[in-house]
Structure 1
Amino acid sequence: MSAAEKVVVGQDGAVLIVAINRPDKANAVDADVIAGLARAYVRLSDDPSLRVAVVHSRGEHFTGALTSSRSPLAWLPEGKASCRREAATRGPCTARRRRSR
């Protein structure tokens, strides 16, 4: 399975739909999944037409495990969409809700 197939992203109106797609591996999170989730977060952050993201998985399990000894924070991109510093200082990153216009 290619890296792009491990996280499938779609859109339904103002909803970004993100699916972890590794059912054969109990949707275990690896570097490709982290990168795909980060790309989805960037898309949500950059597209003003998107209001919310729904993350789900395909198969029996939402996610089985992290399949690396590396910290997931090591895979996050630097820049405006990065949660690396926030996660290190205040805990997990949270999406900020946009106000209705």
Structure 2
Amino acid sequence: MLIGLDRPSKRNAFDLPLLDDLTLAYGEFERDTEARVALVFAHGEHFTAGLDLANVAATFVSGWQIPEGGCDPWGVFGGPRVSKPVIVAVQGYCYTISIELMLASDINLCASNTRFAQMEVQRGIFPFGGATLRMHQTAGWGNAMRWLLTGDEFDAHEACRLGLVQEVLASEELMPRALQLAERVAAQAPLGVQATLASARQAVNEGETAAAADLPTTMRRLMASEDAQEGVRAMQERRPGEFKGR
């Protein structure tokens, strides 16, 4: 499923309608049994300039909530999270809450012209969309604090060094490569992909011991699936598997 930010006249800055629409798109993705992976991108030159603070500040002070039927793209605002992989492809400005969207996603790509900044401390607030939870897990404590405590801007190659993105590409190659990766993930066994994602998340959120305790049960469930049987047949017949998600 392609999910595109579409407020290019404002550099895709998040106002309340865009925030709500993104959560509803994630909800639609979660419920769509035919959609195995989501690719989040942006229309226009910039991924997003971050939050449109003039529009959203009062709502966040009173408490923004995920709309009914939506899923929480950031995993910190109290709504359910999607159980399927999300790939994010960014270019141009990628500020504040968009970095946090990437940190909550699974695979991230960027164009070589991307400029990143977690600049909340320059606006009298702090990164409340998950960067304080995840940036140090991805980049290490010192690297995370270097950018979170200054709000300074950094480039695509620094983002790759930090582990925020997995690949840096020319602008014209960004979407073709992102689509190629999305199709590659979508071709794999859906139950296996979702179980891999769930186990890794559990290890982060609950600890390795809790995640390890659940491995045998998950293994037995997947071994009994039609997809696992198809995987064996495909291996024996030396062909790609044709998986149904059951």
**Normalization by structure 2: what TM-score?**
0.29
Aligned residues: 80
In 1, Cα distance between the equivalents of 2:44 and 2:23? 22
Task: Give the number of the structure whose alpha-carbon radius of gyration is greater.
Answer: 2
* TM, length-normalised to structure 1: 0.63
Q: Which residue of 1 aligns with 2:82?
A: 95
- How high is the sequence identity, in percent, across the aligned residues? 30
Cα distance in 1 for residues equivalent to 2:31 and 2:77: 23
More helix by share: 2
State the alpha-carbon separation in 1 of the partners of residues 83 and 42 from structure 2: 23
Aligned: 1:21 with 2:6? yes
Change over 3 Å in CA distance of 1:37–1:63 after alignment to 2: same
Structure with the larger strand share: 1
SS of alignment partner, residue 18 of structure 1: strand
Higher relative contact order (CA 8 A, sep 6+): 1
Letter in 1 for 2:35: L
Query: Are 1:30 and 2:19 counterparts?
Result: no
* Among candidates 35, 57, 67, match of residue 77 of structure 1: 67
Unmatched 5+ residue regions in structure 2? 85-189, 192-244
Instruction: Determine if contact 2:66/2:77 at 8 Å carries over to the other structure.
Output: no
Structure 1 gaps of 5+ residues are: 1-15
**Which consecutive segments of 4 or more residues in structure 1 shift more than 4 A?**
none
Aligned partner of residue 96 in structure 1, secondary structure: coil
> 2-side partners of 1:74 and 1:33: how far apart?
13
Output the aligned Cα RMSD.
2.6
